[in-house]
Structure 1
Amino acid sequence: MLDIADELNRWAEQGRDFAVATVVAVGGSAPRRPGAALAVDTDGTAVGSVSGGCVEAAVYELCRQALQDGETVLERFGYDDGDAFAAGLTCGGVIDVLVAPFRADDPARPVAVAALAAAARGEAAALARIVAGPAALRGRALLVRPGGSGEGGFGARPELDRTVAAEAGAFLDAGRTGTLEIGERGSRCGSPLTVLVESSVPPPRMIVFGAVDFASALVRVGKFLGHHVTVCDARPVFATPARFPEADEIVVEWPHRYLERTGVDGRTVLCVLTHDAKFDVPLLRLALRLPVAYVGAMGSRRTHLDRAARLREAGVTEPELARLRSPIGLDLGARTPQETALSIAAEIVAHRRGGSGAPLTGGHTPIHHDAGARPAGRAGPVAGGAGDARPGEKGFPRAPGGVLA
């Protein structure tokens, strides 16, 4: 639900009651990932999506029902061979959806509202909710902030709160959303638990070095992909708000000096469009040694060979040089700045998601490369294993309707 925090935070500030359907787990090919949400208020207004359209109508009705009866339900939707046009995922995937009301009298509402407010402000926060476990824990939630501080909890169970806070903190550090399994000993309540952890972190950074025409197009694409975009160039005549109105930040400074002092992390992407050795070499020498997600540099193949030779002379090792994406972007036959920006963005997405960049037509590999990905040893599917609650069993009641896979 934190993926639609801006709208839900406004609803909460207005005192509206609402219900939220959140994707808990997916199997096979599914259009949305865990954490995707659809919310409905008492007037019937809906925001968000859990499936890209396949099961929205059925989930909408579940939200309306949850607002009426105050019950939290877990439902599974999947492909139904008997009726491909029924409420189900005709793409062949399966999703588990948690539908929870957040009314004025719900114990989880203050915690959820605090999480929504933090996410809307762009602060890092993780919201943990019980998906499967004892009925006494239904409707409870725990908000975890960086450093492990928590708000709310699961009743008079401080040991469980500490366990979930530690696990949710690990999810938050990695910027991950998914489920985690807690055994009987860790749960302290006599049965295992499945917990959904939704992480909201500030947007990843994209730093574009070089205030050129290609940079202007890349800024727009970077913003479209949800990045916080900075443009850096040492030339004040080119690095101006008028040329880059959509950039979040414009820095007039030598690129390598700015990179030395600014904060980066494992989600940061660096796009070097300066195309000038006096900028490129000191900048890339530093960039290739930082723990960032992506480093790409623009230039022809001849420019790349010359740049690589200069970097080796500057002390860059072969493993470091292997991190460099150059010439930058995928081979789309791009000519214009807009097409080039698209090719760069496509390579960034493929690198992040593990895609090959090859056409999907005629292929046999999974479309969603990260389907089912989860932190090893912690997260797992919603159901399965002794004591775990499947939809309709003892974790949450099964909702009427939907297509069970």
Structure 2
Amino acid sequence: MLDIAEELARWAAQGRDFAVATVVAVSGSAPRGPGAALAVDGSGQVVGSVSGGCVEAAVYDLCVEALQDGKARRERFGYSDDDAFAVGLTCGGTIEVVAAAFPAAAPGREVLAQALTAAADGEAVALARVVRGPDELLDGILLVRPDGSHEGGLGGRPELDRTAVAEAHALLGAGHTGTVELSQDGAHCPGGVTLLVESGLEPPRMIVFGAVDFTAALVRVGKFLGYHVTVCDARPVFATAARFPEADAVVADWPDRYLRHTATDARTVLCVLTHDAKFDVPLLRVALRLPVAFVGAMGSRRTHDDRVRRLREAGVSDVELTRLRAPIGLDLGGRTPQETALSIAAEIVAARHGATGLPLTATRTAIHHPAPDTPARAGRRLTCPAVGG
């Protein structure tokens, strides 16, 4: 439900009763992954989506029923070849949805409100709750932060809380949302408890170098995609907040110096739009040696060939040059700043998901690429007892 945290935080602050249906499992081709949510308040207002439209009406009804009697519902939606009019996913995949009510007076509502507010403010936070298990556990809420601190609990069972906190902390660190099968005593053995952990991360960074005419359009698209967008240019007269009001930050500094001293990570996107060798070469020499998600540079093919020559002369290796996406963007034929920004954003999205960028009509691969495998979870492992003698 953290994907609709802003709306739910507002509902919680207003004291509204609401129910949330959350995708807890996906198989095959499905439009939304685990954590996708649809919520309904006491007046019938709805926010969010679990399927892009295929089963929204049925999921809405599950939320209304949960609000009426306070009981959680678990439902699976797939595609039926036998009944074309049955409720299901036309994409052929399957999703499992849990709908649960969160009335204003519910236990754990205060902790839930804190988690929603933190996520809405862009803070990294994990929300853990039991979506399958004994009734006394279904109302529990755990809020876990990156430093391992936590609030709330799962039905007054300290052993289960300790394991759940460790699992949530590990999944938050990996940036993953998913389920974990546990026993009621907190052992890492399937034992009738399914824990759903939703990870809300700080927005990834997009740093756009060059305060040029294409930059404002790329800032707008970057914000739309959920990035924290910074514009950097060495020329103070051009690097102003007035020229880029939608940017989160505008920095007047030499690009390579700024990049050396600012925080980046494996989700950071670097877009070099200056196409000026005195800025590009020292900047890219730094950028191509950072473990970031994407490095792209604007310019004609002639400009790029000259840039590559200069980068080699500056000591950049051929292996490092393979990380450079230039000329930046997919071949959409666009010319305006807005069309160019769309082209750049399309390449960033394709690179993030390991996609080809080809028209879907020209491919026969799955439309929805599988999410990366979750790394091994951290924390103390408990050995399941052997069965039999």
What TM-score do you get using the length of structure 1 for normalisation?
Answer: 0.89
Pair 1:6-2:12 in alignment: no
Matched position secondary structure for 2:122: coil
Answer yes or no: is the 8 Å Cα contact 2:20–2:63 preserved in 1.
yes
Equivalent in the alignment of 2:374: 375
1:219-260 CA-partner distances (Å, limit 9, x unpaired): 111111111111111112222233222111111111111111
The one-letter amino acid paired with 2:374 is P
Answer yes or no: is the 8 Å Cα contact 1:73–1:99 preserved in 2.
yes
Answer yes or no: is the 8 Å Cα contact 1:159–1:188 preserved in 2.
no
Answer yes or no: is the 8 Å Cα contact 1:72–1:139 preserved in 2.
no
CA–CA distance in 2 between the matches of 1:223 and 1:117? 20
Q: CA deviation at 1:190?
A: 8.2
Pair 1:160-2:156 in alignment: no
1:128-170 CA-partner distances (Å, limit 9, x unpaired): 1112334432222211011111111123322222222122112
Pair 1:282-2:282 in alignment: yes
Equivalent in the alignment of 2:210: 210
The one-letter amino acid paired with 1:315 is G
Equivalent in the alignment of 2:242: 242
Answer yes or no: is the 8 Å Cα contact 1:157–1:188 preserved in 2.
no
Answer yes or no: is the 8 Å Cα contact 2:206–2:228 preserved in 1.
yes
Equivalent in the alignment of 1:338: 338
Gaps of 5+ in 1: 380-405
Equivalent in the alignment of 1:46: 46
Answer yes or no: is the 8 Å Cα contact 2:4–2:48 preserved in 1.
yes
**Percent identity (aligned):** 71
Deviates more, 1:2-11 or 1:79-88: 79-88
CA–CA distance in 2 between the matches of 1:189 and 1:315? 53
Matched position secondary structure for 1:187: coil
What TM-score do you get using the length of structure 2 for normalisation?
Answer: 0.92
Matched position secondary structure for 1:333: coil
1:6-40 CA-partner distances (Å, limit 9, x unpaired): 11111111111110001111112211121111111
Q: CA deviation at 1:362?
A: 4.0
Equivalent in the alignment of 1:309: 309
- Measured at CA, do residues 362 and 301 of structure 1 come closer, stay the same or move farther in structure 2, by a change above 3 Å? closer
Equivalent in the alignment of 1:388: none
Answer yes or no: is the 8 Å Cα contact 2:182–2:189 preserved in 1.
no
Equivalent residue runs for 1:114-263 within 5 Å? 114-182=114-182, 186-187=186-187, 191-263=191-263
Gaps of 5+ in 2: 379-389
Deviates more, 1:259-268 or 1:348-357: 259-268
The one-letter amino acid paired with 1:34 is P
Matched position secondary structure for 1:107: coil
Answer yes or no: is the 8 Å Cα contact 2:139–2:155 preserved in 1.
no
CA–CA distance in 2 between the matches of 1:187 and 1:137? 16
Matched position secondary structure for 2:214: helix
Equivalent in the alignment of 1:21: 21
Q: CA deviation at 1:340?
A: 1.4
The higher relative CO (CA closer than 8 Å, separation ≥ 6) is in 1
After superposing on structure 2, the runs of 4+ consecutive aligned residues of structure 1 that deviate more than 4 Å are 183-186, 376-379
Q: CA deviation at 1:314?
A: 1.8
Answer yes or no: is the 8 Å Cα contact 2:25–2:34 preserved in 1.
yes
CA–CA distance in 2 between the matches of 1:269 and 1:347? 11
- In the comparison of the two structures, how many residue pairs are matched? 378
Matched position secondary structure for 1:343: helix
Equivalent in the alignment of 1:91: 91
Q: CA deviation at 1:188?
A: 7.6
1:264-287 CA-partner distances (Å, limit 9, x unpaired): 111110000110111011111111
Answer yes or no: is the 8 Å Cα contact 1:354–1:370 preserved in 2.
no
Matched position secondary structure for 1:203: coil
Equivalent in the alignment of 1:398: none
The one-letter amino acid paired with 1:205 is R
CA–CA distance in 1 between the matches of 2:73 and 2:109? 16
Answer yes or no: is the 8 Å Cα contact 2:20–2:99 preserved in 1.
yes
Deviates more, 1:104-113 or 1:16-25: 104-113
The one-letter amino acid paired with 1:18 is F
Q: Supply the RMSD in Å over aligned alpha carbons.
A: 2.0
Deviates more, 1:178-187 or 1:134-143: 178-187
Q: CA deviation at 1:45?
A: 0.9
CA–CA distance in 2 between the matches of 1:108 and 1:84? 41
The one-letter amino acid paired with 1:363 is T
CA–CA distance in 2 between the matches of 1:226 and 1:151? 27
Answer yes or no: is the 8 Å Cα contact 2:181–2:195 preserved in 1.
yes
Answer yes or no: is the 8 Å Cα contact 2:150–2:165 preserved in 1.
yes
Q: CA deviation at 1:376?
A: 4.4
1:58-87 CA-partner distances (Å, limit 9, x unpaired): 111111111111111211111122322332
CA–CA distance in 1 between the matches of 2:46 and 2:373? 29
The one-letter amino acid paired with 1:139 is D
Equivalent in the alignment of 2:112: 112
Matched position secondary structure for 2:360: coil
Answer yes or no: is the 8 Å Cα contact 2:255–2:279 preserved in 1.
yes
Equivalent in the alignment of 1:402: none
- Measured at CA, do residues 334 and 82 of structure 1 come closer, stay the same or move farther in structure 2, by a change above 3 Å? same
Matched position secondary structure for 1:162: helix
Matched position secondary structure for 1:361: helix
Deviates more, 1:156-165 or 1:216-225: 156-165
Answer yes or no: is the 8 Å Cα contact 1:122–1:202 preserved in 2.
yes
